[in-house]
Each structure stands twice: as structure tokens, then as C-alpha cells.
Amino acid sequence: MKVFHTVSGLRDDLNKERQQGLRVGFVPTMGNLHDGHLALIKQARQSNDVVVCSIFVNALQFGLNEDWDKYPRTYQNDCDKLRAAGCDYLFHPDDIEMYPNGLDTQSRVICPTMTDVLCGASRPGHFEGVTTVVSKLFNIVQPDEAIFGIKDYQQLAVIRRMVQDLCMPVLISSAPIHRETDGLAMSSRNRYITAEERPLVTVLKDSLEWMAGEIQSGSRDFSGLEEAAKARIIAAGFKIDYVTACNSKTLDLAAHDDMEITVLGAMFTDAARLIDNLSITL
């Protein structure tokens, strides 16, 4: 695996790959890689000749009170995992390389409306940071295909929308949620969960599964289902951010005649904010 820390270095090499007609697949990450990330690399490997991964903990997508400075950085370990997973290129820039003019004057990419709800409501500016860095990374890597995890459902929907709105020449593919054996969605932030909380946090997934089951069985009392799911999560000792049934594509609140619905939830443990989701077709 070749490692580059500069835009120009990576570009020079990838240009040569493209000139040979090779297809480039790309997986953007913030590092601290787990099996969920590596499944994305393996998926990219299947449909591309060259696989590029980026590791960049993007300050632009973290709020002032969020965990940018303590976000786990495990570079050497990540490199070993990427090599074993068959990654060809790692792009690992520093903040200056990505934002040479500083964050305040950085040009931004904004995807309105869809980013105001769900995670966007409780993390103002988060998705603007995501769409901006992903646009930059797409311009740097110029991939044929980029793979994102369904785990971050709203992020995937926003990126699909951005690519469509801005006519970006990249295929966006999704990868299923990778879970621990008890069903907890894998996440770099799971390390913030305490030993006491750990057996209880699957309540988020269980509550979303219950909601999805009720909707599959014909219930359309979305707000009633949301309240019941929230009550279950609160009873397990966690604080709610949101639990909602949405139109899978637009992320608008689910309507009675929607055929594709995604239930999404976010809850707070003492030190972590956990998200999960489940999509159903009626």
C-alpha cells in the first residue's frame, strides 16, 4: 500500500493509474478502523482496479463542544488493517494540507433542508463540514466509485443528493451496517460506552426494529410508535436525541402512503452519542 500525505503526491500516482484505464474506488474515513470500515474497503476492491482510502479527522464537521481533539487516532494500526484488507493507496493529509487557508475562510458546500433535520438538528454545521470535505476529497481522488456505510444513513442520503445536485461524476454505493454480535452498530465512538452501559445500549437497535415491525404490520401511527420507542430507550437509562420514521429518500417525516421508510434514532449515553437506523420496503 502506498501512503501519501500531500494532494499533489497522490494525484500524480492516481493520474498514472487512470491513464492506464484503471477504475478507482474510494472509501473516505476518519480512521480508528474497525471491521465495518474494512468491509467498505473489501466492497471497493470487488468492483474497482485501484482502491483508495483516506484517513482525515475533519475538524470542519465537529461542533465546538464535540470530540475532535479526543477522537481516537490509531494510524499505525489502521495502516496494518488496510494493507491486510487489500487497500492500494492511503491518503493521510494533515490539517494544513486539507485547509491551507484556514477553516474560517474555507469555501463550503451546502446541501440545504435535508441537513437541518435528525443529526443535523442537534449538530449544526456538521453536514456542511461533511459535504465540504467529501467534495474536496472527490476532487483530489477523482474516484469512479465511492462507498459509504448505511450506518450513517443521513450522511449517505446527503452525499447522494450533493452528487446529484452538483453533477459530480462519481457513483455512490452503500454498504450494510456492520454490527457486534449482540447487534450494536460498530463505531469508533463505542469506546466511550462504559462497562455498565454496554449491555443496555442495544435498546436503540431493538426499539428501531420494534418500530419497523409495527410499520410492516400495518401501523401508520408514526408519532405513537416514536413515543413508545423513546419511552423504552429512556427506561433503559439513556437520553433521546431523536427517534423518527422518515421517507427513505427525502428524509421527510414518513407519510401514510410512503413505500420506503427508514426508522432512525440517536441517543446519548454518559459520554457517547450513538446512532442507528433500519430501512423497510412496504
**Applying CB under 6 A, which of residues 161, 178, 230, 273 lies at the interface with ligand AMP?**
178
- Cβ-closest residue to ligand AMP? 149
x/- track of binding to ligand AMP for residues 11-30 (CB under 6 A): ------------------xx
Residue 265 touching ligand AMP (CB under 6 A): no
User: For residues 277 and 153, is the Cβ–Cβ distance under 8 A?
Assistant: yes
Q: Report the residue from 43, 48, 187, 277 that binds ligand AMP according to the rule CB under 6 A.
A: 187
CB 24 within 8 A of CB 17: yes
CA–CA dist 95, 30 (Å, integer) = 13
* Nearer CB in complex with ligand AMP: 187/202: 187
Active-site amino acid positions: 37
> Cβ 55 to ligand AMP, closest distance in Å?
8
Stated as kind and residue range, the H or E segment containing 273 is strand 273-281
Contact flag: residue 186 with ligand AMP (CB under 6 A): yes
Q: Contact between 136 and ligand AMP (CB under 6 A)?
A: no
User: Can you spell out the DSSP letters for 46-104?
Assistant: HH-SEEEEEE---GGGS-TTSSTTTS---HHHHHHHHHHHT--EEE---HHHH-TT-ST
Residues 141-160 that bind ligand AMP (CB under 6 A): 148-149, 151-152
What CA–CA distance (Å, rounded) separates 280 from 131? Answer: 26
Nearer to ligand AMP, 18 or 34 (CB): 34
Q: Interacting stretch for ligand AMP, rule CB under 6 A, among 68-76, 84-92, 178-186, 252-260?
A: 178-186
User: Which of 246, 241, 282 has the alpha carbon at shortest distance from 263?
Assistant: 246
Give residues with Cβ within 8 angstroms of 140, minimum separation 6. Answer: 7, 10, 11, 91
Check binding of 188 to ligand AMP (CB under 6 A). yes
Query: CA-CA distance, 5 to 9, in Å (whole number)?
Result: 8
Site string for ligand AMP, 29-68 (x = CB under 6 A): xx-----xx--x----------------------------
Residue type, 54: S
Residue whose C-alpha cell reads 481516537 in the numeric block: 72
According to the binding rule CB under 6 A, does residue 132 interact with ligand AMP?
Answer: no
| Residues at the interface with ligand AMP (CB under 6 A) | 29-30, 36-37, 40, 148-149, 151-152, 175, 177-178, 185-188
